[in-house]
């Protein structure tokens, strides 16, 4: 009769986790030998929820004054994990050590990495860089950037801040409502109006220097909606588009922040319930509903192949700097601002694959400022080794609202490299690039992209821009 062995899986996990490599080798051999027996039996595994994510509530890097200590606040997910215990370690205990509770001790000048990991499992490991310093530069003044410090009851207002001096050691702030019956505030400075009245929100530096600022917020009474009328011509949307639907509230001064938004198919278009900002995720159709009390309006959105509608108004971008042909590319005040690299280039590319339809949406346009220097622009696209640079002429019109140029091409009228885009179907291309080459100078040079869109005709483009 063979040997009958029953293993406890939890014991095996603990052995694997804590024994050294030599014992692991011996254990592996032993398990292998035992597993060859036909009569071997194992206990069924119990379903266990382990930590999948750890969030550290500290800045990274984390400056610490020498000979001081700081307890790191953290959260683990899921909340109902069977084992929420974590293990803290330091890459250099002579510089910064850490105890079992997550309290970091600043021992000597320098930098060290503090790591926290689940006691069970290997997911969710987080690391923060600790820099031990000899002095703290405190925040002396907190500034509020918002120009409108009012919010309707039930609506939210994000407070934006800056501080002086800019070289302050710690940038983190704490938020408190001094009038919690009128307005609440989150740890991120998001104020929510509760009832009409005058609220006071206090924002305070967390560096121990005592700097704070009280912000007066007016919470306004809600003006009920009686109707929501969507603007016509919004029924077709573009893949990867991030935008908002245009509508007219009735009456005109009604409180639109009371509207709750929803989508019947979030796999096609998902929408933020409170803000109404939507994101297009897949082809198909969905019904968007805007509801406030008993008032409800619906609009059916269909994702159109070949339509492009890339803007930068809502903090999201489908674009980035191309290869090494730029120094920086980031969203600033709703525009995509690009600065050139030392190679005299400032090119950008679309992050995702792009579906072009030369028959339905032949006009592709970009609204952008001109760099204050000489340059050349090339529109380029390809998949594998097909297609290439646009061989036709790039046209230009001026937006009369702000005198910013709009450059456009007709992708149905010219070749890309040696290839022509089909007019009877959409063509998916891997790369879509606007090359900005041969800049005359690069110092203190940049340009701003307002949007990149496709249109059904030149007339539609001109109508959109407002050109006669």
Examine the domain organization and report whether 325 and 450 are in the same domain.
yes
What's the chain's length in residues? Answer: 468
Beta-carbon count within 10 A of 383 CB: 14
Whether a cis peptide bond, with omega within 30° of 0, leads into 179 is no
CA 166, 167, 172, 174 torsion-angle sign: negative
Examine the domain organization and report whether 290 and 321 are in the same domain.
no
What Cα–Cα distance (Å) separates residue 352 from each residue in 6, 276, 436?
52, 23, 20
Residues sharing a CB contact under 8 Å with residue 182, sequence separation 6 or more, in sequence order: 193, 194, 195, 197, 198, 199, 219
Structure tokens, 6: 């029953």
Domain ranges, residue 331 = 310-465
The CATH number covering residue 187 comes to: 2.60.40.1080
Examine the domain organization and report whether 328 and 444 are in the same domain.
yes
Examine the domain organization and report whether 404 and 342 are in the same domain.
yes
How much of the chain exceeds pLDDT 70, in percent?
90
Confidence of residue 7 (pLDDT cuts 50, 70, 90): very low
Last residue of a domain, one of 186, 220, 254: 220
- Residue-averaged pLDDT of the chain: 89
Residue 32 lies in a domain: no
Confidence of residue 120 (pLDDT cuts 50, 70, 90): confident
Q: What are phi and psi of 256, to 5 degrees?
A: -80, -15
Residues sharing a CB contact under 8 Å with residue 28, sequence separation 6 or more, in sequence order: none
The string of pLDDT tens digits covering residues 398-448 is 999 999 999 999 999 999 998 999 999 999 999 999 999 999 999 999 999
Q: How many domains does the chain have?
A: 4
Q: What is the per-residue pLDDT for 467?
A: 93
Examine the domain organization and report whether 239 and 110 are in the same domain.
no
pTM exceeds cut of 0.75: no
Residue 126 lies in a domain: yes
Q: What is the per-residue pLDDT for 447?
A: 98
Residue 22 lies in a domain: no
Q: At what angle do helices 9-18 and 21-35 cross, to 10 degrees?
A: 150
The string of pLDDT tens digits covering residues 167-205 is 999 888 999 999 999 999 999 999 999 999 999 999 999
Q: What are phi and psi of 318, to 5 degrees?
A: -95, 10
Examine the domain organization and report whether 358 and 293 are in the same domain.
no
Asked whether the predicted pLDDT for residue 46 surpasses 90, the reply is: no
Confidence of residue 41 (pLDDT cuts 50, 70, 90): low
């Amino acid at each position: 009769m063979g040997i009958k062995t029953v293993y406890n899986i939890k014991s095996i996990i603990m052995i694997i986790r804590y024994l050294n490599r030599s014992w692991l080798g011996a254990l592996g051999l032993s398990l292998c030998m035992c597993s060859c027996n036909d009569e071997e039996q194992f206990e069924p595994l119990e379903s266990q929820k382990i930590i999948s994510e750890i969030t550290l509530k500290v800045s990274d890097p984390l400056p610490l004054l020498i000979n001081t200590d700081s307890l790191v606040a953290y959260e683990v997910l899921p909340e109902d994990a069977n084992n929420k215990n974590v293990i803290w370690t330091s890459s250099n205990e002579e510089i910064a050590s850490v105890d079992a509770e997550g309290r970091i001790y600043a021992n000597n000048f320098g930098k060290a990495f503090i790591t926290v990991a689940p006691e069970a499992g290997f997911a969710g490991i987080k690391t923060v860089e600790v820099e031990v310093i000899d002095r703290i530069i405190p925040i002396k003044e907190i500034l509020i950037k918002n120009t409108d410090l009012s919010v309707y009851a039930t609506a939210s207002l994000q407070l934006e801040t800056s501080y002086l001096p800019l070289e302050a050691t710690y940038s983190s702030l704490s938020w408190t409502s001094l009038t919690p019956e009128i307005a609440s505030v989150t740890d991120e400075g998001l104020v929510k109006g509760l009832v009409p009245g005058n609220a006071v929100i206090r924002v305070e530096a967390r560096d121990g220097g005592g700097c704070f600022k009280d912000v007066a917020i007016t919470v306004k009474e809600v003006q009920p909606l009686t109707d929501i009328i969507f603007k016509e011509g919004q029924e077709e949307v573009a893949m990867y588009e991030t935008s908002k639907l245009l509508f007219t509230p009735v009456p005109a001064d009604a409180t639109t922040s009371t509207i709750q938004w929803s989508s019947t198919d979030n796999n096609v278009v998902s929408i933020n319930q409170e803000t109404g900002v939507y994101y297009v995720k897949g082809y198909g159709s969905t019904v968007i509903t805007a509801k406030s009390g008993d008032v409800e309006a619906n609009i059916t959105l269909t994702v159109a192949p070949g339509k492009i509608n890339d803007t930068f108004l809502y903090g999201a971008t489908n674009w980035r700097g191309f290869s090494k042909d730029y120094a920086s590319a980031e969203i600033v005040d709703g525009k995509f601002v690009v600065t050139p690299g030392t190679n005299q280039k400032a090119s950008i590319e679309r992050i995702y694959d792009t579906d072009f339809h030369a028959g339905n949406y032949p006009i592709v346009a970009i609204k952008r400022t001109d760099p204050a220097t000489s340059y050349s622009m090339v529109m380029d696209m390809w998949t594998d080794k097909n297609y290439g640079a646009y061989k036709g002429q790039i046209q230009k019109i001026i937006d009369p609202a702000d005198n910013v140029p709009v450059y456009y091409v007709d992708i149905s009228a010219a070749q890309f490299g040696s290839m022509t885009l089909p007019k009877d179907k959409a063509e998916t291309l891997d790369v879509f690039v606007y090359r900005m080459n041969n800049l005359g100078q690069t110092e203190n040079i940049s340009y701003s992209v307002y949007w990149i869109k496709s249109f059904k005709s030149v007339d539609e483009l001109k109508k959109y821009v407002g050109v006669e």
